Structure 1
Amino acid sequence: MAVVVAIVAVLTLVVGQGLAGAEPAPAPAPASPAAPPTSAAPAPPASPRAPAPAPAAAPVPPGKVTNTYWYTDRRVALWVYSPSMNTNIQVQILLARDWHAKPKEKFPQLTMLDGLRAQDDQSGWIINTKIVDFYKDKNVNVILPIGGESSFYTDWKEPDRGKNYKWETFLMRELPPVLENDWRSTDVRGIEGLSMGGSAAMMLAARNPGFYKFAASFSGILQFSSFGMPQAIQFAVRDGGGYDSMKMFGPPSDPAWKEHDPYVLAEKLQGTSLYVSSGNGMVGPHDKPSDIPMLATNYSGVGLEMLSRVTSQQFAIQLNRKGIPGQAVYRPSGTHTWPYWEFEMMQAWPQAAAALGLSGDAVACRVDGAFRKLWDANKGDLGGCLTPSYGVPGGKAQDFANGRIFTGPKGPKIVTGAIGGAYVAAGGPGGRLGKPLSNEEPTRDGKGRVNYFEHGRITWTAKDGSKVLK
């Protein structure tokens, strides 16, 4: 309850005294259909003076991949050494639908940022949503940076809690060469995130005009420097891991707060396709009602979503005043929690697809011949086809939602799951294992799974994961 009390106290400052302590500005002109709605929004504050442009950045060496792990044939984890942070950063990629079928093509990329309590081992998107299944049939490389707890994905002035955060440098300058040179991503990029990640998505897009074609904030805090907001952010990063926001941007009077404020930088977003959403903190379909009418038991989520709603509305009004089109979606209920962000991820996709050049993209495939007979017997496990059949060394393959079928000396065989990931890492049918001789089957002791190949086998157990054996 202490969290909601603190947030409500900040809201009292924000709503009761006006953001930035300014007099209310006149209501904006009616929005065009593409512009963000402004109904029921608080009156916009006077436009703060934009900060002076930063000097040209010095050359930064690109990151370097130090390790790779394939979860499946469509999901891979990279450990990328960041020179600016002097550490390895895990980045996972959900590969585009046609990644295997069209090995000479490159694909647009969509970065998905995590929330305040981002873990160092796994993305919250993976843990809490169906992101893997949602993007399987889409021709985009989905980029999932791992870690960055309470970082706002920015470059901090000082290290804190043993972490030298330089996330903007990593995402803008160190990671892109890796994705574009080695992982067949184009320079057509989008970015979206939830909560802290939504704030960062708009901040990074505004600070790096033109770098992203699309930016989306789901329940983000979209004002940093207005009256009371540095204190609210300090409270959040303290609660999210014991960090000190003064080590991020300095005291509230430091110009860095304005230099990173999406509201102040709004005009820099001209030409970027924008999507902004939030609930209002009231109990919604994914919340458990408390004994207090209209209030969910997720008390901290109530306060944070209220703050997101206020700042998102103010940000949308600022876009409208600047003549910058965007889409704003204000849900009639809902707190600060994952089911709503999963919903917004799906709702935002058509707009993201249009910005990334994928509006007309769709699955177009059928299953024929010997592949059809095998698929008919296993379609419950394999799911629908994603690609037509295509050539691989020594035969053909076809991709499905949950695995792949390959031709082999004993007829077509299925390779799927973690074994499928290990098969890709070993070079697939053109690598050291050769073509498959069996479908996945139980190991002799019944404790795992195994696929046999021309020159070895791959086993999987819950304890040891996948192993390639002779």
Structure 2
Amino acid sequence: MPRKVVAAVAVAASATLVVGGAPIAHADPNPAPTTQVAPKPEKKTPEKKAPEKKNDRSKKNDRSKKRADNTPAAKPTAPATVTKVNWYSAHRVALWVHSPAMNTDIQVQMLLARDWFAKPAAKFPQLTMLDGLRAQDDQSGWIINTNVEQFYADKNVNVVLPVGGESSFYTDWKEPDRGKNYKWETFLTKELPPILENDWRSTDVRAVEGLSMGGSAAMMLAARNPGFYKFAGSFSGILQLTSYGMPQAIQFAVRDGGGYDSAKMFGPPSDPAWKEHDPYLLADKLKGTSLYISSGNGVVGPHDKPSDIPLLATNYSGVGLEVLSRVTSQQFASKLGRLGIHGQAVYRPSGTHTWPYWQFEMVQAWPQVAGALGLSGDKVACTVGDAFKKAPQIRGLGGCLTPEYAVPGGRAQDFRNGRIFTGPKGPKVVGGAIGGVYVPTMERLGLPTSDEKTGRDGVKYNTFERGKIVWTPQTGARVE
């Protein structure tokens, strides 16, 4: 958003909105690209049943079909299907899911639960993490800007990272814009869940959180689909959409964030759709959901570069956006208090609208997320397995994440920096992008016969009983 616009909007919002009196808990905040690998061969998902009739009263559908405006999300004409799978590593996988509602493939990345391999019959709760206004079409901002992959490596939750959705607010738009037919609410609450639950060992115990636009969307989705999410978290979200000046501020934002028109999202400001998607007006629908609301206040903080003006960072747009976030978040938390709905409100004493603060909030919110997902008592409990105690490679693998477990033909154990397997030539480590390609090809290749080696021109490879996986900067990892 242009500096003058942001400053004007921030001042207008601050002047017209009365800051609520919710209790404030202060917290001081203390953020690696990865390599693409060859995709897994196309996986056919089981054929799904046709959409059920409106009068179907099944318990499973009842959890998600009711929305705050009393209308169901647009029902897909056919089930969503997975068209491609790409393994970045053994615990990070990308799915391309064809959305019938949007008539396009949507990339969804997953960080698989800690015990995914050690407990192959187990299912795990899921946490969806939403991106900001400038979401890219090729990669999640959480992957690019934070240590999300490392942070969740020791946690037993399937982390879901939708990719794309620039300026979408993750909602169903009235009209297409800029060649995109956004139907994100339908995708996230109707089309994607059966794939995650049927094919990727996720339960229907869900949480959602996001930064900025994603924080607004997290509260919006949770309120419009009561009971669908056990937890909703907003990190610097804008939590009022219909207050004086806010539709205009959002129009400026989506224009600046890709040239979109908010009238194609909700119609003109007078359209009822604005109120039907306003987290502040839908707050009563959040009763029973664990809620986390946070923001800074625009004052220069530890992750900002000070300007020549006292207390003002050089990130001028980040200053204005964080002021809007603080004002609307406090109003939202205040309304929750008036409604008797508990929400954890954590306001930082400084900081602008930028990624290092959202990395901090991701970590700070986790204990509450874990409680909502039933993971409060979950923790790493392992020692190096008997098959690997004498393996010299153990020293470079970091701490263990799982106990030793059985794999076809041998044993394995997961560590922070890779997986170690027994094999015909002793314990061998497989990790990184090569470890990702090994997941869907393990039965074909057999057990490893070497650790990762580096050949000429920086080529890396592991050998196996029946083949080799090679990685180059140009091609990523592939089976040879």
TM-score (norm 2): 0.89
Superposed CA offset, 1:295-336 (max 9, x none) = 001010000000000000000001001100010011000000
Range with bigger deviation, 103-112 or 406-415:
406-415
Q: Is the 8 A contact 1:62 1:175 kept in 2?
A: no
Give the equivalent residue in structure 1 for 2:173.
156
Equivalent in 395, 404, 429 of residue 379 of structure 1 = 395
**Secondary structure of the corresponding residue to residue 157 of structure 1:** coil
1:462 maps onto 2:473 in alignment = yes
Q: Is the 8 A contact 2:99 2:191 kept in 1?
A: yes
Equivalent in 203, 208, 215 of residue 186 of structure 1 = 203
Root-mean-square deviation (CA, aligned residues, Å) is 1.7
Equivalent in 324, 332, 337 of residue 307 of structure 1 = 324
User: How many Å separate the matches in 1 of 2:333 and 2:312?
Assistant: 26
Give the equivalent residue in structure 1 for 2:148.
131
For residue 446 of structure 1, report the CA deviation from its aligned partner: 4.2
Mark the CA change 1:83 to 1:140 in structure 2 (over 3 Å): closer, same or farther: same
User: How many Å separate the matches in 1 of 2:264 and 2:308?
Assistant: 40
1:107 maps onto 2:150 in alignment = no
Mark the CA change 1:39 to 1:119 in structure 2 (over 3 Å): closer, same or farther: closer
Q: Is the 8 A contact 2:419 2:430 kept in 1?
A: yes
Give the equivalent residue in structure 1 for 2:70.
54
1:439 maps onto 2:451 in alignment = yes
Q: What's the % identity of the aligned pairs?
A: 72
User: How many Å separate the matches in 2 of 1:176 and 1:204?
Assistant: 14
Give the equivalent residue in structure 1 for 2:88.
71
TM-score (norm 1): 0.91
Mark the CA change 1:59 to 1:252 in structure 2 (over 3 Å): closer, same or farther: closer
1:170 maps onto 2:170 in alignment = no
For residue 402 of structure 1, report the CA deviation from its aligned partner: 1.6
For residue 448 of structure 1, report the CA deviation from its aligned partner: 1.1
Give the equivalent residue in structure 1 for 2:106.
89
User: How many Å separate the matches in 1 of 2:362 and 2:201?
Assistant: 23
**Secondary structure of the corresponding residue to residue 276 of structure 1:** strand
For residue 5 of structure 1, report the CA deviation from its aligned partner: 2.5
Superposed CA offset, 1:184-233 (max 9, x none) = 00000000000000000000000000000000000000000111100000
User: How many Å separate the matches in 1 of 2:416 and 2:265?
Assistant: 42
Give the equivalent residue in structure 2 for 1:48.
none
Q: Is the 8 A contact 1:277 1:331 kept in 2?
A: yes
User: How many Å separate the matches in 2 of 1:94 and 1:225?
Assistant: 35
For residue 37 of structure 1, report the CA deviation from its aligned partner: 1.7
Mark the CA change 1:414 to 1:7 in structure 2 (over 3 Å): closer, same or farther: same
User: How many Å separate the matches in 1 of 2:408 and 2:257?
Assistant: 50
Give the equivalent residue in structure 1 for 2:11.
12
Q: Is the 8 A contact 1:62 1:173 kept in 2?
A: no
The letter of the residue matching 2:444 is R
Residues 279-298 of structure 1 mapped to structure 2, 5 A cutoff? 279-298=296-315
Superposed CA offset, 1:225-259 (max 9, x none) = 11110000001001111100000000000000000
**Secondary structure of the corresponding residue to residue 155 of structure 1:** coil
Q: Is the 8 A contact 1:415 1:440 kept in 2?
A: yes
For residue 38 of structure 1, report the CA deviation from its aligned partner: 5.6
Q: Is the 8 A contact 1:277 1:312 kept in 2?
A: yes
The letter of the residue matching 1:387 is T
User: How many Å separate the matches in 1 of 2:72 and 2:369?
Assistant: 30
**Secondary structure of the corresponding residue to residue 279 of structure 2:** coil
User: How many Å separate the matches in 1 of 2:325 and 2:69?
Assistant: 27
**Secondary structure of the corresponding residue to residue 321 of structure 2:** helix
Superposed CA offset, 1:109-129 (max 9, x none) = 000000000000000000000
User: How many Å separate the matches in 1 of 2:118 and 2:25?
Assistant: 47
Q: Is the 8 A contact 2:238 2:329 kept in 1?
A: yes
Equivalent in 235, 244, 256 of residue 239 of structure 1 = 256
Superposed CA offset, 1:259-310 (max 9, x none) = 0000000000000000000000010000000111110010100000000000
Superposed CA offset, 1:64-86 (max 9, x none) = 00000000000000000000000
Give the equivalent residue in structure 2 for 1:448.
459
Q: Is the 8 A contact 1:217 1:276 kept in 2?
A: yes
Q: Is the 8 A contact 1:62 1:178 kept in 2?
A: no
Q: Is the 8 A contact 2:14 2:324 kept in 1?
A: no
Give the equivalent residue in structure 2 for 1:425.
440
